[in-house]
Structure 1
Amino acid sequence: MFRTIHSIPGLIAALLVALIAATGAVLSVNPALERMQAAVPARGEVSVADLAGKVQANIPGVENIKRKPSGEIVVTYFDPDRPGVVTVDPRSGASTGAYEPSAFTLWITNLHRKLLLGDTGRAFAGAGAAAMLILSLSGAVMLAQRLGGWKKLLGRIHGTPSQRLHGELGRAAVAGLVLSAATGLFLSLSTFEILPDGSPAEAPFASASGGQTLPVGDLAALKAVDLNDLRQLTFPYPDDPSDVFTLTTDSGEMTVDPATGTVQTAATNTPFQTAYQWIYALHTGEGLWWLALVLGASASIVPIMTGTGLVIWVARRRARPRIAHNVGAQSADTVILVGSEGNSTWGFAGTLHAALTKAGHRVHTGAMNDVTVYRHADRLIVLTATYGDGEAPSSARRFLDRLANLKSAPARTYYVLGFGDRQFAHYCRFADMADRALAAKGAERLLDTARIDRQSAQAFAKWGVDLGHVLGTPLDLHHVPTRPRTCRLRLIERRDYGIDVDAHTAVLRFGVGEVRPSLHRRLFGARLPRFEAGDLVGILPPGNNVARFYSLASASRDGILEICVRKHPGGLCSTFLTGLEVGEEIDAFVRGNPGFRPQPGMAPVIMVGAGTGIGPLAGFIRRNETHRPIHLWFGARNPASDFLYEPDLKNWLTDRRLTGLHTAFSRLPAGSHVQDRLAADAETVRGLIATGAQVMVCGGRDMAAGVAEVFSGVLGPLGLTVEALRKEGRYVEDVY
């Protein structure tokens, strides 16, 4: 819900909000500049009468004295020879020069308040303030939800570079933006009299008592008012003996008899008028120059957040397939919820959606994260993959928590279909978790949880037949996987290991450029897609649209795309890759993996890898130009056959990109595994953890489980656990 609330006003009003914020940031500097230029007497040093008397003596024909919130004194006068407006020294009353507001500032103010369009522009500006308020509040709620609650709002933000930048900037600016937007909306509503006008109270009409007028400097009522409380003093009209002085202060307005110096009439501001003045000051920063700078800094962030927000929205829209005839969630009789990490599950959901729609059902398809109670739905169908070590995929990470908070089951009946790979230990584990959670919520399971291995279209079609029997509607689920958008990469270098011992492993380096490049590439050149070490590359074997993923051992700025591949018996993609000759090409695409990165800073990093799991770790070490302490524990079979990256590791030790190298080889006479070497080095590891080290583990699932067990023992004396480090982002894994 909050994502929808956040996205809609953001998309509609993105340019308007950015314009209002940018102009507000420019205007925020003015109060500080004016305060620097103004001479402000201490309270009790100068009264209104003192200033008025000196001004009248220095400037004939004074009509009006105004004190701006910055303390600057502006005098309007009319003399046949010298009409005009000047600024004056508050102590001497002498003119300091003509008052000439900046034309640029006036233009920016007009643009900020009414978009140069009069009242129509004021209405748009008010709408922009409302949109900014909605965006700020909904964004704060979304960030809190993403980080696990309000108490963790200051925690580390994960995601793509755009997501991290958007979150960090939003977190820094949200308080200032909420204050600016709320006060701006209040002022807009007052301008259009939707809220009462907040203008200062006006004293009732009064006439002078007559008689000889006193010098303005001797008027008792004006002597009683400190200059710092003055807003405006209007002088009587010279040729009208009945006219009076009108004095406006922060508390209201009064009229003063020029002959007696007494107050004739007075009006005090109502609480609303006083509140209005404060709200105006809070919004403009007038009189609060330091606050203006804070609010201006927050506002200056908005154009950047607008850009990152649009990037995130476009990426999200591109990531999901467009599903035709997707009815609203609360008007559907069938709801399909999708849990997907790489978007392939969305494709199966689209096929099911089309078949059910063709059969006459009103179908809504959405992400599992958006689960709610569907008032008119007869059934809920969940299609979900499992990510990593039995975890929820990205579009389902909040599903279990949100489901637990619902007052009832989302729908009366449900079905769950899991997608996974049988070679993994926790095959379709999250699908089972979703099934149990829905049953616990009171929904009725009408079909046992089914599993689809390796995105089998045949198994999906068979499940469709079973579902059709339960629904009483034949379903033909003929799913053709959509081929991902790929780029062509050419193999430019390879290093081979373990061929003689039937354990073929290769380090493959790819560059861009086809043998027969397209016209576009010939004209504009070719470049690698953007990626970091630890991201994933999806590779499509010839004749197959199902990608296999490999961790990247390089960053795009290295100028190469590098992976480590071990040939598996019967492995379609690994056989294809290890059989490539230099100059041959592949179809590939990149997927971000921002959760597997070294944390910022200079704290030590403990890297643990076995076999091809060293790939992304080598990529991180290669980019360690700051000489951050990195300690690598690496396990393999035999140093003579599969010591991957051996020359590079020795060079990195020499140039201090790598601080320590600890190896374990299982096929040596006194062989050991990497987890054994970690256990032997427990004191060293514990010391690094005590200084704030992060742990990064990459490799096979069994190895990772063994490493986690060793760390449980290592962390015990420190009062820590592996799970506690995971929550802090100090224990991350990339396992397969």
Structure 2
Amino acid sequence: MLRKLHSLPGLIAALFAIVLAVTGAILSFSPALERANASVPAAGQVSVAELADTVARHYPGAEQIKRTPSGTLIVYYTRDGDVGADRIDPRTGQAIAPYAPSSFSRWVKNLHRSLLLDTPGRMVAGITALAMIVLTISGTLLLAARLGGWRQLLRPIRGTLSQRLHLELGRAALLGLLLSGLTGAYLSATTFGLAPEGVEAEPDFPLEVSGGTPAAIDTLPVLQATDLNDLRELVYPYPDDPTDMYSLETHQGAGFIDQASGEWLSYQPHDATHSVYALIYQLHTGEGLWWLGLILGLSALTVPVMAITGAMIWWKRRRSRPKIVANSGANAADSVILVGSEGNTTWGFAKTLHDSLTQAGHRVHTAPMNQLASRYRHAKRLFILTATYGDGDAPASASRFLTRLDNITDTPQLPVAVLGFGDQQFPQFCGFAKKIEASLTAKGWPLLLPLDTIDRQSGQAFTRWGNAVGKALGTKLALVHTPTRPRTTALALAERVDYGAGVQAPTDVLRFKAPAASGKTALLSRWLKRTGLPSFEAGDLVGILPPASQTPRFYSLASASTDGVLEICVRQHPHGLCSSFLHALPVGGTIDAFIQPNPNFRPTSGKAPVVLIGAGTGIGPLVGFIRHNKTHHPMHLYWGGRNPQSDFLYETELNAYLTDRRLTQLNAAFSRIDERAYVQDKLTANGPELRRLIDKGAQILVCGGRGMATSVISALDDIIAPLGIDVTTLKAQGRYREDVY
């Protein structure tokens, strides 16, 4: 619900929000530019009387002096029968330059306030301001939920490039956008009489004046007592008319002044409501607060980027999730299906189950696991279909499931069946599904069926499970699901570097390019500097479909698409279908591949050092991170191989990175030489240095085999124990990330 509350207003108001944000940003810089060109005396240095005296010397025909909120002084005068206006110096009263309001600024202001549509446009602008408030608040709530609570609101953000841009900019501009939205909505409300604007001071018109000889303007007591910084407007009396008077407006109020005595003839302060209105107007425009205007302007400039990235995120999420037809309400359904998915593939299986149950006459409600309800009024059974993310962790749509489950205190009577999805090559195969079943059992939920698992999206295993479900329900249920083949790109092997033959562990660094274009297409690609590669970053995953298999194998990427190659590091396994295919692939041979973003595994921004730990082919993405460290961020690499003469992967490149300071320190360990050291041994030997780096806020990235990763955790726990923390703590802080297999 919260995500819909955030997405729908954003999509509807996106175009109007971009227009208002861009025009607001343009206008917000005006106070700073105006202030930069204005000479503003300190409070108490110059009175209005002193200013008026200096102006009189240069402008005998002065009619009005006006001070803008940013401090610019403008004198309006008549000279030789011509009317003019100049910007003046407050200390000398001399002209700085002729004053001419900008027609462009006036047009931008009208576009910002009413979209050039007068009253209907003002209504749209007001509604857009309200939408901005909703978007800011709902976005903050979503970000807090994503990061694990309000206290974690400043944690590093994971996600794809569009997600990180959207969230990082939103977090940075949060207060500025909320202030703009609140003040803009209030100002729009006053336009239509829905909120009070207050009454600007209008003093009673004096019934009589003294009629005496006008005194010199610099001797008038009221003007002497009024500081220049409080001035809004001073209007002169008609020349040679002793019955006319001065009109003075300040920030506090307005009144009329006798020419002869210089005292108030009448005075009326602004009422409190108008003072509040003036403050809100100042907070919205930055007029008089040039520094706030800059903050609001910079915040507004994030809106177009967030609108575009938000739409991209919404579209990608919508496109990747199958459309559930005839989805009954949670309290109307007799069967509930909850889905835990990271890349949305599990939703395809859930849709097949949903459709089959619906065709069998059941009322079915299908939703993400994060939407677990405390009670389903008419439900008779619950199905949980979930993938596992990383090392037995929850996938994205199930990240809050266990917390919601713990909050259910009533003893449930709803039979449940858990189906896990995963890959048996990983030690934590369906680890999250097993964790879910254990938690349900511990809370007394009855089982409709024992836990079952699906390996590598097997359609046959899903059909078998469907038969078991059908027997449990007493109805025939045929679940036939064929996973959608991912959309792939053909890539040609351009280069290979062989390692490991001497230690019987053949390992190749493989670099792929898009097949060469020809003719006009090639010329256009060169002109646009396009590589033909899909977009990816170092640390993302490439899925490769080997011949005669529909199940992709994933490899961590050692390059970014901007490098012009897709680079992976692959060790040949004795009976590995894909690794054998890749090692036998000749230069020029092609593969079918697709990219799977892996935003949870890459260095975060900031000044803290980065510690990279890996073994074997796990060095691939770590080298990619180092390769792109062109700002010379502190990076320390710990890596383990077998023999430096045979499988020192990327040795030449790493030495070059040490020379140009993209790599701060290299610590290599080899298990097939006399010292028989492993990477965890290097960590222990360098314990004090690692402890110092971690104490300074270092982030740790680990890539390689599961056994190595387990040993690394054990070694690091011992190293950082004196700091009163462990690896679990670092994981919770987002400072320890793994890509293990």
| Aligned-partner Cα distance in 2 for 1:310–1:124 | 21
Q: Determine if contact 2:155/2:734 at 8 Å carries over to the other structure.
A: no
What is the CA distance between 1:100 and its match in structure 2? 1.3
Q: Which of 628, 634, 637 is 1:631 aligned to?
A: 637
**Which residue is 2:727 aligned to?**
722
The DSSP-based 3-state class of the residue aligned with 2:13 is helix
What is the CA distance between 1:735 and its match in structure 2? 1.0
**Which residue is 1:381 aligned to?**
383
Q: Determine if contact 2:469/2:477 at 8 Å carries over to the other structure.
A: yes
| Aligned-partner Cα distance in 2 for 1:657–1:50 | 63
**Which residue is 2:666 aligned to?**
660
Residue identity opposite 1:178 in structure 2: L
Change (3 A) 1:333 1:24: farther
Change (3 A) 1:440 1:202: farther
What is the CA distance between 1:244 and its match in structure 2? 5.6
| Aligned-partner Cα distance in 2 for 1:87–1:601 | 46
Change (3 A) 1:223 1:15: same
| Aligned-partner Cα distance in 1 for 2:376–2:257 | 69
Name the stretch that deviates more: 673-682 or 233-242. Answer: 233-242
| Aligned-partner Cα distance in 2 for 1:337–1:689 | 39
| Aligned-partner Cα distance in 2 for 1:683–1:280 | 57
**Which residue is 1:6 aligned to?**
6
Residue identity opposite 1:483 in structure 2: R
What is the CA distance between 1:354 and its match in structure 2? 2.4
Change (3 A) 1:707 1:239: same
Residue identity opposite 1:710 in structure 2: A
What is the CA distance between 1:430 and its match in structure 2? 0.9
**Which residue is 1:565 aligned to?**
570
Q: How does 1:489-568 map to 2 (within 5 A)?
A: 489-495=491-497, 504-513=506-515, 524=525, 527-568=532-573
1:635-668 deviation digits (Å, cap 9, x = unpaired)? 33x66765555665666667776643422325x6
Q: Determine if contact 1:373/1:411 at 8 Å carries over to the other structure.
A: no
Identity, % of aligned pairs? 54
In structure 1, stretches of 5+ residues that fail to align are: none
Residue identity opposite 2:550 in structure 1: N
Q: Determine if contact 1:630/1:657 at 8 Å carries over to the other structure.
A: no
What is the CA distance between 1:194 and its match in structure 2? 0.5
Change (3 A) 1:312 1:49: same
1:499-523 deviation digits (Å, cap 9, x = unpaired)? 7987554443322217x99997897
Change (3 A) 1:228 1:498: closer
TM normalised by structure 1 equals: 0.87
Q: How does 1:17-28 map to 2 (within 5 A)?
A: 17-28=17-28
Q: How does 1:573-588 map to 2 (within 5 A)?
A: 573-588=578-593
The DSSP-based 3-state class of the residue aligned with 1:66 is strand
Residue identity opposite 1:572 in structure 2: L
Q: Determine if contact 1:254/1:265 at 8 Å carries over to the other structure.
A: yes
| Aligned-partner Cα distance in 2 for 1:521–1:333 | 58
Q: Determine if contact 2:687/2:719 at 8 Å carries over to the other structure.
A: yes
1:173-213 deviation digits (Å, cap 9, x = unpaired)? 22222222211111111111100123413234543257446
| Aligned-partner Cα distance in 2 for 1:597–1:265 | 70
The reply on whether 1:167 has 2:172 as its aligned counterpart is no
What is the CA distance between 1:376 and its match in structure 2? 5.5
Name the stretch that deviates more: 411-420 or 686-695. Answer: 686-695
Give the count of matched residue pairs.
733
**Which residue is 1:339 aligned to?**
340
Q: Which of 419, 424, 433 is 1:422 aligned to?
A: 424
Change (3 A) 1:246 1:620: closer
Q: Determine if contact 2:637/2:666 at 8 Å carries over to the other structure.
A: yes
What is the CA distance between 1:482 and its match in structure 2? 0.2
| Aligned-partner Cα distance in 2 for 1:362–1:600 | 48
| Aligned-partner Cα distance in 2 for 1:720–1:701 | 22
Q: Determine if contact 2:531/2:564 at 8 Å carries over to the other structure.
A: no
In structure 2, stretches of 5+ residues that fail to align are: none
Change (3 A) 1:478 1:35: same
Change (3 A) 1:703 1:252: same
| Aligned-partner Cα distance in 1 for 2:654–2:220 | 89
What is the CA distance between 1:569 and its match in structure 2? 5.0
What is the CA distance between 1:705 and its match in structure 2? 1.1
Q: Determine if contact 1:552/1:563 at 8 Å carries over to the other structure.
A: yes
Q: Which of 611, 619, 622 is 1:614 aligned to?
A: 619
| Aligned-partner Cα distance in 2 for 1:594–1:83 | 65
| Aligned-partner Cα distance in 2 for 1:626–1:653 | 13
| Aligned-partner Cα distance in 2 for 1:723–1:549 | 26
The DSSP-based 3-state class of the residue aligned with 2:383 is strand
1:233-270 deviation digits (Å, cap 9, x = unpaired)? 44567799876654333223334455765545443333
The DSSP-based 3-state class of the residue aligned with 2:82 is coil
Name the stretch that deviates more: 596-605 or 343-352. Answer: 596-605
1:542-589 deviation digits (Å, cap 9, x = unpaired)? 343322211223333333323233444554333433343333222110
TM normalised by structure 2 equals: 0.86
| Aligned-partner Cα distance in 1 for 2:626–2:587 | 26
Residue identity opposite 1:283 in structure 2: H
**Which residue is 1:277 aligned to?**
278
Q: Which of 464, 467, 473 is 1:465 aligned to?
A: 467
**Which residue is 2:232 aligned to?**
231
Q: Determine if contact 1:351/1:479 at 8 Å carries over to the other structure.
A: yes
Q: Determine if contact 2:389/2:395 at 8 Å carries over to the other structure.
A: yes
The DSSP-based 3-state class of the residue aligned with 1:384 is strand
Name the stretch that deviates more: 573-582 or 208-217. Answer: 208-217
The DSSP-based 3-state class of the residue aligned with 2:173 is helix
What is the CA distance between 1:158 and its match in structure 2? 2.0
Residue identity opposite 1:577 in structure 2: L
The DSSP-based 3-state class of the residue aligned with 1:400 is helix
**Which residue is 1:456 aligned to?**
458
Name the stretch that deviates more: 671-680 or 248-257. Answer: 671-680
The DSSP-based 3-state class of the residue aligned with 2:187 is helix
Q: Determine if contact 1:52/1:216 at 8 Å carries over to the other structure.
A: no
Name the stretch that deviates more: 643-652 or 306-315. Answer: 643-652
**Which residue is 1:176 aligned to?**
176
Q: Determine if contact 1:529/1:590 at 8 Å carries over to the other structure.
A: yes
The DSSP-based 3-state class of the residue aligned with 1:101 is coil
The DSSP-based 3-state class of the residue aligned with 1:491 is strand
Q: How does 1:410-449 map to 2 (within 5 A)?
A: 414-438=416-440, 445-449=447-451
Residue identity opposite 2:457 in structure 1: Q
What is the CA distance between 1:21 and its match in structure 2? 1.6
1:376-432 deviation digits (Å, cap 9, x = unpaired)? 562543211112211112332233335445787999554322112334332222113
**Which residue is 1:294 aligned to?**
295
Change (3 A) 1:78 1:403: farther
Name the stretch that deviates more: 102-111 or 718-727. Answer: 718-727
Change (3 A) 1:451 1:629: closer
**Which residue is 1:153 aligned to?**
153
| Aligned-partner Cα distance in 2 for 1:205–1:439 | 84
Name the stretch that deviates more: 259-268 or 538-547. Answer: 259-268
Name the stretch that deviates more: 236-245 or 264-273. Answer: 236-245
The reply on whether 1:476 has 2:481 as its aligned counterpart is no
Q: Determine if contact 2:412/2:444 at 8 Å carries over to the other structure.
A: no
The reply on whether 1:207 has 2:212 as its aligned counterpart is no
What is the CA distance between 1:458 and its match in structure 2? 1.8
Q: Determine if contact 1:286/1:292 at 8 Å carries over to the other structure.
A: yes
Q: Determine if contact 1:408/1:441 at 8 Å carries over to the other structure.
A: no
What is the CA distance between 1:460 and its match in structure 2? 1.4
| Aligned-partner Cα distance in 2 for 1:556–1:651 | 21
Residue identity opposite 2:738 in structure 1: E
**Which residue is 1:315 aligned to?**
316
What is the CA distance between 1:310 and its match in structure 2? 3.0
Q: Determine if contact 1:367/1:395 at 8 Å carries over to the other structure.
A: yes
**Which residue is 2:38 aligned to?**
38
Change (3 A) 1:85 1:418: same
The DSSP-based 3-state class of the residue aligned with 2:532 is coil
The DSSP-based 3-state class of the residue aligned with 2:196 is coil
Q: Determine if contact 1:380/1:410 at 8 Å carries over to the other structure.
A: no
Q: Determine if contact 2:198/2:271 at 8 Å carries over to the other structure.
A: no
**Which residue is 2:107 aligned to?**
107
